Structure 1
Amino acid sequence: MAGGADREIESLAEFDRAAAARSLSGCRVQSVDLTARTAELLATDTADTVFLGCPMEPDAAAKARADGALVFPPVPDLPFDPYRGTLYGPEELFESLEKGYGNTPDALTYAWFEQSRASGDIFASMLRALHDDAVSDALDELLAGRRVVGVMGGHALERGSAGYASAARLGRSLARAGFTVATGGGPGAMEAANLGAYAAPFDDAMLDEALALLAPVPSFTPSVADWAAAALSVRALRPGGGASVGIPTWFYGHEPPNAFATHIAKYFANAVREDGLLARAGAGVVFLPGAAGTVQEIFDNAAPNFYGSRGEPRPMVLVGREHWSRTLPTWPLLEALAAGRPMAGRKALVDAAEEVPAALARLTGRQEEPAPGTGS
């Protein structure tokens, strides 16, 4: 076939290039509307092709099946596409926000998730699994070859607080140092780090302006719509910000995704989401002060470092000496686990977020390379 075995086709332009060679044999075509490509499909070899959620005319579908293709039709009346070939963007998830958050695809998908999970419908379970696998595939494609740093922290951190501003400056510093910032994609510290990455290409004043604009809406409660609209207004005032990744979940549907992550890998399965975020953070993980969820993430990351199940231990930087030594004494346990193991030299405890880039450079043996840009 043209283009190599098992080629993924995720856009109409990619389809047209492959169809021009009169062979789609072995291709996987994901969620591409082919209703206007009947002539091309009738004239093209589709043996061993797989069409995932691609609308097409009945004649074209019948011919593809006769060739030996597998045709998985679109599923009607779903608020999401289980076969999608790309990650989400904030504009997609918050579409129709002006009509109320409940009318957005994000909220409608959460409502479907809650209903389908309660019913125990095996078909719905299969659709969720298909969706999450497609999202993982798109995330791997996006992050291939990038230096990814995960930033973890509590969702309760409010806009307007010193901690929020510090997390935002951290995201900006990491992005300017050439890292791709990846967070859990939700509010609080996660939003702040994504905001900082978004602000990285601009002058320093842009972040201060954004923080001031966001401060009057400190939290997503009581109004997700007001909270999201404030972020979208910042993006509208300063379009073209730096790229970063958010990896949220509908499992915690009461927490909306933040609008500063330019690429959003939203999952139904929280376990897949959490492990996937940590596994992809090959350049290290930063843990800002948090509560039970952040503690869990610290040891979710420490276990592979301890056993070497992901290869060389990944750097871990905990921010907040008092918090992680006394308030939630995670650091002493981490030190005890690391004693005598390779992970012992891949962890650091710092007082402030401003110390993180230097700590990461020290743990990886790399010199800091400050530069404009986002690593995206």
Structure 2
Amino acid sequence: MKDRYKGPVLERRGQVEPGTTDQRLLDSRGPTDWVHEDPWRVMRIQAEFVEGFGALAELGPAIAVFGSARTPADHPFYAIGEQAGRKLAEAGFAVITGGGPGAMEAANKGACEAGGVSVGLGIELPFESGLNQWVDKGINFRYFFARKTMFVKYSQGFVVLPGGLGTFDELFEALTLVQTQKVTSFPIVLIGTDYWQGLIDWLRDTVLAEGKINAGDLDMLVVTDDVDEAVSLMVAAREDRWPDPAPERPE
């Protein structure tokens, strides 16, 4: 059998598939498992990026707030999350969270009640369902990497409340992007000195001591118990990026 091109893909010898793509598309008698195969997933992935970019392109300055979905409503850090969301909204930021319960819900609630823009970027998980009630603009994603792109593209900084593996993932991804200069003017503030101090000590006493990071890498993190300090750092970074006191997102 001759060589065959399937769009940009070259097929030879045993890799040549019988029939054509159009034939399989138009033949209703064929199998339906194609909707679960990689080429079709590419379209779904593309759709997630298109939907995310379309929904958030005109959001304006925004801060992502991360933290545990397991933070109960009567926990002190739930109240701190509310306070952070409210003060960020009052400072003119949209607030972006993962859209789930716990600390994410708290930040969305604070922003919503302050009259700010409360955004939730949800993810399909087996043990969580839907976006919290305080999300005004929400997008649900199938794919973590598409969701993460939206956080980084549309946030000018991260406020990180105590959390678990998901929060650590988001935190260290942000640190990596700053370290590698993929993003600039991007403050990262950890709220809760008692919770985070052990991590900072380990980074300094073990990771830095063994030469796995540079001393300047630790300067990427600010640890505080003061929500006002966290917000002021975000405002300073915004003014650095957009000196105009009434910034507009560049085209």
With normalisation by structure 2, the TM-score equals 0.70
- Counterpart selection for 1:305 from 178, 187, 194: 178
Please say if 1:260 is aligned against 2:138.
no
1:55 aligned residue:
none
Deviations along 1:70-96, one digit per CA (max 9) or x if unpaired, are: xx9xxxxxxxxxxxxxxxxxxxxxxxx
Give the AA of the match of 2:77.
G
Deviations along 1:317-366, one digit per CA (max 9) or x if unpaired, are: 1111111112xx1465289446346x83x531111434321232345566
Give the AA of the match of 2:194.
E
1:140 aligned residue:
53
Distance change (3 Å), C-alpha of 1:268 and 1:134: same
1:246 aligned residue:
120
Contact 2:63 2:96 in 1 (8 A): yes
Please say if 1:159 is aligned against 2:73.
yes
- Hey, what's the Cα distance between the residues in 2 that align with 1:260 and 1:153? 16
Distance change (3 Å), C-alpha of 1:340 and 1:243: closer
- Hey, what's the Cα distance between the residues in 2 that align with 1:351 and 1:263? 29
Give the AA of the match of 2:72.
E
1:348 aligned residue:
222
- Hey, what's the Cα distance between the residues in 1 that align with 2:221 and 2:87? 19
- Taking every aligned residue pair, what percent have the same amino acid on both sides? 29
- What pairs with 1:4-43 in structure 2 (closer than 5 Å)? none
- What pairs with 1:266-345 in structure 2 (closer than 5 Å)? 266-281=140-155, 283-310=156-183, 312-326=184-198, 329-330=199-200, 333=203, 336=208, 337=213, 339-340=215-216, 344=219
- Hey, what's the Cα distance between the residues in 2 that align with 1:273 and 1:183? 11
2:94 aligned residue:
180
Distance change (3 Å), C-alpha of 1:331 and 1:307: farther
- Hey, what's the Cα distance between the residues in 2 that align with 1:143 and 1:309? 20
SS at match of 1:357: helix
1:267 is displaced (CA, Å) by: 0.8
SS at match of 2:159: strand
In the TM superposition, structure 1's runs of 4+ consecutive aligned residues that sit over 6 Å from their partners are none
- Hey, what's the Cα distance between the residues in 2 that align with 1:302 and 1:134? 28
Contact 2:178 2:186 in 1 (8 A): yes
1:123 aligned residue:
35
Contact 1:135 1:265 in 2 (8 A): no
1:269 is displaced (CA, Å) by: 1.2
SS at match of 1:247: strand
SS at match of 2:182: coil
Give the AA of the match of 1:339.
A
Q: CA RMSD in A?
A: 3.0
Deviations along 1:164-189, one digit per CA (max 9) or x if unpaired, are: 12101210111111111111111111
SS at match of 1:286: strand
Give the AA of the match of 1:284.
G
SS at match of 1:266: strand
Counting matched residue pairs gives 203
Contact 1:305 1:314 in 2 (8 A): yes
* Structure 2 unpaired stretches of 5+: 1-24, 26-31, 241-248
- Hey, what's the Cα distance between the residues in 1 that align with 2:121 and 2:98? 5
Distance change (3 Å), C-alpha of 1:186 and 1:331: farther
Q: Higher strand share goes to which structure? A: 2
